[in-house]
Structure 1
Amino acid sequence: MHGDTINEEEKNISLKIVVSKSKKIVCYAEAQEDFVNLLCSFLTLPLGVILKKMRNVSWKGCLDQLYKSVQDLDEQYLKSNYHKELLVNPKLAPGYQYKKTLLGIEEMSFYYVDKKLTTDTSCIPHNSSAESVKLDVVDPKSHEDKDKSAQGFLRGPAIFTVTDNLVVRPISPILEMSVLQELKVPFTDIEDHIVHVGNREALQLLVASFLGESALTDVFIRQPKNVYKVYN
């Protein structure tokens, strides 16, 4: 369904969605742990990152006005440009990124300078390189797991049922039947589609999850204008 948006060199996630033909909605999806890892990663994002990615989306609240205020504030009113960057372009905490994140958000680095920890590279002496004082932070997701190939937050292989409003459960025919009953969608009205989630779709899912309660439908079926205003 999104074949024209996929870069073959990009790491994509395949996802099976069950669609109501008459209502044009996604009833639920059957996903492996890679897609659920992506959804879980939304919970690790700093608020400033989310606002940056959604900067062109029209909000009814005032938080985006706060973001724009800091963004437009002259540096003379802030301690430094570095402090401004902490607010308008924050980074992930060390260890919270994983190989197939798709969101393209940089991870923070810590440096040990003058017996202190800092993330500010301007504090590094000119006679030292960043790599020489950079700390190798223990991955909080590893729990002393020696398997370096392990990625994300969930054990695999596993399959999950994900509803349109992003309720995630281990795959269950009973849950899927109850979802169809709640939506009043008969079995004769559903069909399966395979969609692919790359960088753009991942960002659209992030935006859609904040704008409404039908994230999967908004991204893969309705494609509202707000979702396509994601700043990338």
Structure 2
Amino acid sequence: MEKKINLKALVDKGSNKVIFIESGNAFIDVVLSFLTFPLGTIIKLGREHSAPVEIGCMNNLYSSVEEIDVSELRSYACREMLLLPRNAAESLCKILVLQVDHNAKPTRYFGCSNCQLWKTRKFFSYYPFIINPECGHYMNNEITFSVDVASAFVKERARLLITDDLQLISPCGTSIVSLFTNLGVTNRNTTEELNLNIGVDEVMNLLISSLVSKTPLTETLLKHKPVAKQSNENNNQAIHIDPQTVGETVLTEEDNISIKLIVCKSKNIVCYAEAGEDFVNLLFSFLTLPLGFVSKQMQDGSLKGCIDQLYRSVQDLDEQYLKSNHQKEMLLNPKLVPGFCYKSLLGIEEASYYYLDGKLTTDSSLIPSNTPLESCKIEPTDNNSSARGFLKGPASFTVTDNLVIRPISTIFELSVLDKLNVPFTDTENRVVLMGKKEALNLLVASFASDSALTNAFISEPCQT
């Protein structure tokens, strides 16, 4: 029998909109888990769902990975890393009452029993029978993750109000008058209470709607369908990022990536780009990024949906609700699974894994104070690490404005110009260098716009 979560909702009868829902820890954990999902996982789940989500250029990126010849990749595992990216918070997501990714195979971890992992710093593998580089024995001793089965991110008895745009509000210390005023409710007589039961399908609808709508609870609970596509309104406007968020531009020559843009002079848009495998590696790595990391870069209202509202709510949430600072950090500064980080241009880190009492954990606070952290830390030893990139090199690619990626082809480039109705005589070449600031700008544009290259490299940022 399918699991369900019961919710109490306050609804405005006149507008047929959800004002807020009252929720316990089970549903709150499900909503918060959205921030830990890699973008590639969200695209995959949307495709399996009845109404696939279309966010920016991410579907094109995902399709480009599917269509690229495996001979262009360093290994088949690289394709799996991108199409089925792992979640660093997977151990917590697996204990949720409702799991939208319930068909995914759990990640397995193997250590070397010969080396007694608990005594010295060693390695682990994602696959059995990998050779341990320290002793030459097979790593075939499976290790489990340590989890608290009571709840994932918030305390077991936590209760919060969740508004239609996914703002989390404490019911304590909030007067009904101020709550209704802030939510625009002027007449209590127009409201009604509903008891609702939601399952995995509704959670999937909520995830999709939260990316493209400001009213995802209404879309999910009352209209029973997600708004699967971003509005085209303002999609071609420039995207603004707070410079304090993106940090300093990387200026070292070895870190900067060179890209040749083919620009339409009359329209001042990027038709396509020609670039090496380093640029495409970076683009592909977007699929491995957790949604919370993207939200962190987009707190200026660039998003069409309201995931940024959820992110800010976690920032402001009283510590009495979250289980620990570690859980809060997993949501606000989500990390990549070890071995999945491509370079450091985007500034995202890999999670650290610690071996303690026969189990793995990412929570360093569980390590006894008299035990050095490094003595418990273990690292992946597989040769499939993405640090060197997903693609073989040297290689050249054509990348369209909406991030369709193909091995470089003059015929493909001419077809792009034809679709854009741009004569090749109306084009010019511009070479740009991309550091950290530009890479984050491109990430934001890829998520929020279907003209990623134009927004990232040509358009002037909108003023806020």
Q: TM-score range by the shorter chain?
A: 0.7 to 0.9
- Structure 1 counterpart SS, 2:458: helix
- Structure 1 counterpart SS, 2:355: strand
Q: Does 1:213 align with 2:455?
A: no
Partner of 2:312: 68
- Structure 2 counterpart SS, 1:154: coil
> 1:140 Cα shift?
6.6
Tell me, in whole angstroms, the C-alpha distance in 2 between the residues paired with 1:174 and 1:197: 27
> 1:9 Cα shift?
6.0
Aligned residues of 2:335 and 2:349 also touching (Cα < 8 A): yes
1:111 is matched with which residue: 349, 354, 369? 354
Partner of 1:54: 298
- Structure 1 counterpart SS, 2:271: strand
> 1:138 Cα shift?
2.9
Partner of 2:380: 137
Once the two structures are superposed, what CA deviation does each residue of 1:180-228 show, in whole Å capped at 9, x if it has no partner?
11111112111111100100000000000111111111111113327xx
> 1:56 Cα shift?
2.2
Tell me, in whole angstroms, the C-alpha distance in 1 between the residues paired with 2:253 and 2:429: 26
> 1:48 Cα shift?
0.8
> 1:6 Cα shift?
6.2
Partner of 1:147: none
- Structure 2 counterpart SS, 1:136: strand
- Structure 2 counterpart SS, 1:112: strand
Number of aligned residues: 216
Stretches of structure 1 lacking an aligned partner (at least 5 in a row)? 144-149
> 1:136 Cα shift?
1.6
Code of the aligned partner of 1:216? L
Aligned residues of 2:396 and 2:408 also touching (Cα < 8 A): yes
Moved more, 42-51 or 7-16: 7-16
1:79 is matched with which residue: 309, 320, 323? 323
- Structure 1 counterpart SS, 2:273: strand
Partner of 1:179: 416
TM-score normalized by structure 2?
0.45
Aligned residues of 2:304 and 2:448 also touching (Cα < 8 A): no
Partner of 1:222: 459
Alignment of 1:116-195 (within 5 A): 116-139=359-382, 141-142=384-385, 151-195=388-432
Partner of 2:101: none
Moved more, 76-85 or 132-141: 132-141
How well do the aligned residues superpose, as a CA RMSD in angstroms?
A: 1.9
- Where relative contact order (Cα < 8 A, 6+ residues apart) is larger, the structure is 1
Aligned residues of 1:10 and 1:198 also touching (Cα < 8 A): no
Tell me, in whole angstroms, the C-alpha distance in 2 between the residues paired with 1:122 and 1:142: 27
Tell me, in whole angstroms, the C-alpha distance in 1 between the residues paired with 2:321 and 2:407: 50
Code of the aligned partner of 2:433? H
1:32 is matched with which residue: 260, 272, 276? 276
Q: Does 1:102 align with 2:339?
A: no
Aligned residues of 1:96 and 1:140 also touching (Cα < 8 A): no
- Structure 2 counterpart SS, 1:58: coil
Once the two structures are superposed, what CA deviation does each residue of 1:113-165 show, in whole Å capped at 9, x if it has no partner?
1111111111111222111110121347349xxxxxx7111111110000000
Distance 1:59 1:142, change over 3 A: closer
TM-score normalized by structure 1?
0.87
> 1:7 Cα shift?
2.2
Distance 1:199 1:177, change over 3 A: same
Flag as ranges the 4+ runs of structure 1 deviating above 4 A: none
Tell me, in whole angstroms, the C-alpha distance in 1 between the residues paired with 2:410 and 2:370: 62
Stretches of structure 2 lacking an aligned partner (at least 5 in a row)? 1-248
Partner of 2:289: 45
> 1:10 Cα shift?
6.8
